[in-house]
Amino acid sequence: MQRRELLKNAKRLVVKIGSALLARESGGVNTAFISKLAREIAELHSQGREVILVSSGAIGAGMAVLQSRERPRTIPAKQALAAIGQPRLMQAYAGVFGRQGLITAQVLLTAEDIHNRQRYSHARNALLEILKQGVIPIFNENDTVSVEEIQFGDNDVLSAHITNMAEADCLVVLTNVDGLYSRDPRYYPDAVLISQVEKIDRKIENLAAAATTNHLGTGGMATKLQAAKMVTGMGEELVIANGQRKHVLPLIISGREIGTIFYPRGDKLGARKRWIAFALRRKGALLLDSGAGTAVKEQGRSLLPSGILSVEGQFKQGDCVGLRDQAGREFACGLVNYASDEIERLCGVKTKEIERILGYKNNDEIIRRNDLALLK
């Protein structure tokens, strides 16, 4: 399927706005850019499309208020600046979008809200209701309460999680560069824009690693590639484009060859399997024999104890673990029905032996098919 066919059918899209687009050179929030963005989103709304924003810029807005030129390095300093800047950022969005007849809503999340199933479900339900009301949800990480251990790392990654949560059709990452280049265009005039990526291989990873970012943001092309891996693995597409370009969002959705598009890998995942595959931290891994690997990957089977060769890590019942083949490659993940020490005692045995070995039996399956997600 070509770019035009994929994008013109997108009914719900997530748009991530980078810090560099939101900061004025003289300091403060770039309301001229927000006005441009609001006009473009109003046009998409008139076409019957739903738009979700993921906006950086709170810390940058706080830096402007305090006239600070250097981005803080400590967590408390970042938290303080986010608390100062976030209301000013949202005030700018509300005022400018209001002039286009659009209502905005603020949604602040931490990584724990994504990893915890109950909190994730509540956040998803709220998001869907906001969209139902015709309102533009604007997401940001809740920097004021986030700590290093539970941060997303960058809003590129947060936007991929929101694409997952919303089951959106596309993620558009707007930044201050035109897309992914063959070389850094700031230093190499012969650099060529890569218009499409069908497979994220080592070459693409090296290109992304070589790109850097500015002093206002935490990410770069590497975090955008991390987001692309997540989104394309869900079966959706991601576009990186220059947000300063006139009419950029409507042109992207019309299928024009703008920026870099990363094509989806395989079929779309359902909501629960997206959460398992991309929102949960792996607590361990199970090494499978070739027969179990084939049954899980190709035959749509649950994982039984007979196909498990060994257990890595310590985990509890209900935790998410990776499934690896004999070469050590992770090809799936899922929620286990037994703890790691129990599974170690069950490796290679038939299901009828579970009760005899453990003295009880929760399930015949180590991981039920509905609790298992294949990774592409």
Could you count the other beta carbons within 10 Å of the beta carbon of residue 256?
Answer: 15
Q: Write out the E strands in the chain.
A: 12-17, 50-55, 104-109, 136-141, 170-175, 196-197, 237-242, 260-262, 285-288, 308-312, 320-324, 330-335, 372-374
Q: For the range 327-330, what are the long-range contacts, defined as Cβ-Cβ under 8 Å and sequence gap of 24 or more?
A: 328/287, 330/285, 330/375
pLDDT confidence of residue 295: 95
- List of residues 6+ apart from 80 with CB closer than 8 A: 62
State the SS3 of 124-160: HHHHHHHHHCCCEEEEEECCCCCCHHHCCCCHHHHHH
pLDDT confidence of residue 49: 96
Mean residue pLDDT across the chain: 89
pLDDT confidence of residue 216: 41
pLDDT tens by residue, 335-373 = 999 999 999 999 999 999 999 999 999 899 999 999 999
For residues 232-253, average pLDDT: 94
pTM (two decimals): 0.86
pLDDT confidence of residue 81: 87
For residues 309-324, average pLDDT: 96
CA atoms of 280 and 321, how far apart (whole Å): 9
pLDDT confidence of residue 269: 84
Is residue 221 over pLDDT 50?
Answer: yes
For residues 224-253, average pLDDT: 94
Task: Report which listed range, 23-27, 229-233, 246-250, is most confident.
Answer: 246-250
For residues 243-267, average pLDDT: 92
Please give the torsion angle defined by the CA atoms of residues 275, 137, 123 and 222, in that order, rounded to the nearest 10 degrees: 40
pLDDT confidence of residue 143: 65
Tokens matching residue 281: 């931290």
Higher local confidence (pLDDT), 287 or 278: 287
pLDDT tens by residue, 45-85 = 999 999 999 998 888 888 888 888 787 888 888 888 889 99
Is residue 147 over pLDDT 70?
Answer: no
The amino acid present at 135, given as its one-letter code, is V
Give the CA distances from residue 333 to residues 86, 129, 266, 296, 376, in Å, rounded to whole numbers and listed in that order.
36, 30, 17, 10, 11
In the block, tokens 């608390």 appear at 83
Is residue 151 over pLDDT 90?
Answer: no
For residues 177-201, average pLDDT: 88
The amino acid present at 218, given as its one-letter code, is T
pLDDT confidence of residue 320: 96
Domains of the chain are: 3-273 (3.40.1160.10), 281-374 (2.30.130.10)
Are 269 and 287 a contacting pair, CB within 8 Å? no
Are 172 and 252 a contacting pair, CB within 8 Å? yes
3-state secondary structure of 244: coil
Tokens matching residue 165: 């949560």
CA 46, 50, 52: angle at the middle one, nearest 5?
130
H-run or E-run covering 117: helix 117-132
Residue of 82, 72, 92 lying closest to 29 (CA atoms): 92
For residues 126-143, average pLDDT: 93
Q: Residue 153's pLDDT band (boundaries 50, 70, 90)?
A: low
Q: What is the per-residue DSSP string for 40-109?
A: HHHHHHHTT-EEEEEE--HHHHHHHHTT--S---SHHHHHHHHHHHHHHHHHHHHHHHHTTT--EEEEEE
Tokens matching residue 287: 């090494």
pLDDT confidence of residue 129: 97
CA atoms of 12 and 124, how far apart (whole Å): 14
First-to-last alpha carbon distance for the chain, in angstroms, is 18
Tokens matching residue 38: 């609001």
Are 111 and 151 a contacting pair, CB within 8 Å? yes
